[in-house]
Copies of this chain bind each other. A is one copy, B any other.
Amino acid sequence: MTEQNRRLVLAQRPTGLVDESTTRLETVPVPELEEGQALVKVRYLSIDPTIRTWMDDVPSYLPPIQIDEVIRSGGVGEIVESRSAAYQPGQMVFGMTGWQDYVVIDGGDGAMQVLPDGVPPGMAIGILGVTGMTAYFGMTDVGRVADGDVVVVSGAAGATGSAAGQIAKIKGAKKVVGIAGGAEKCAHIVDELGFDEAIDYKNEDVAKRLRQACPDGIDLYFDNVGGSILNDCLANLAMRGCVVLCGAISTYNSDEPPPGPSNYLTLLVNRGRMEGFIILDYLDRFPDAQIEMAGWITEGKIKSSEHVVEGLEKAPDALNLLFSGGNTGKVIVAL
């Protein structure tokens, strides 16, 4: 092999947003394949808020990324060489690639899946991938969205939030309100994605607008952001309302533990439930959900959009987009 692998490793743990000191670009030779292995040329990286949490040295649902380790990330790539019966050169695969040009995979353990024919790579890591599955299982299995529900979704112009809101409508929600930052995103989720109403948290009083938009309270709040928006939604929770904890993007760059939701006692008075989930627990149920989701895509019932950033070296900037709100839809880095 003469190929060189460019990769971004964790140089030092960030405080706040990642910057040029967080990652280091290294170039190392691509190793010779052993029997049973295959070589993947990475084409697209899936940029997800959770990557930022893995950079902190705190216990979470996966171990922290270690210093000098390649940044952990989902992605899509192409098999360019194979000594495994499971993979043929030319096949597209998706799974955990890391922020790098090449990854050697072991054919035996199913570490990466072959992309089905006709599925665009962006969808494999977006609406049909972990992002869409997070929206699906969070809304249906954890949130148990039901006919007639009043649903609020934060981060509603983001990849997961936009899918979550559309799934709620498909599943019979009476009203779906999205919270997003800026007039453009708010228009997008209402005009393009079919949300009933949007709240612009950058320019509106969220607590007041929630009371207007949901006068009988919120039956299901799908929380991607945490912080004050979570607290405002708790204050307006309907009887037996539910908060699905999907993420807390407003807190991921903070060194301090965030202030907790002081309105949590509405859970008591209103017999509410607040529940978290991690999508990795649902891997065995992905196939059925992907079939249902693919059907909705075909029927035009659910739309997804991508925000593509070019170049491996731009991956840290792409990650920061999620926190500045610079994206609409799924952030993908094209290599």
Using CB atoms and an 8 Å cutoff, list the residues of chain A in contact with chain B.
59-61, 226, 231, 245-248, 251, 257-278, 281
Contacts and interface: CB of A to CB of B under 8 A. Distances in A.
Contacts of A59: 269
A271 B262 contact: no
B271 A273 contact: no
21 contacts: A59-B269, A226-B265, A231-B260, A245-B264, A246-B268, A248-B265, A260-B260, A260-B262, A264-B264, A264-B274, A266-B276, A267-B276, A268-B276, A268-B277, A268-B278, A269-B276, A269-B278, A270-B276, A271-B278, A273-B274, A273-B275
Contacts of A251: 265
Contacts of A262: 257-260
Number of copies: 2
A269 B56 CA distance: 14
Contacts of A263: 257, 260
A248 to B, nearest CB: 6
A264 B261 contact: yes
Given A226-B265, A274-B275, 14 more contacts: A60-B269, A61-B269, A247-B268, A248-B265, A260-B260, A260-B262, A260-B263, A265-B276, A266-B276, A267-B276, A268-B278, A271-B276, A271-B281, A272-B275
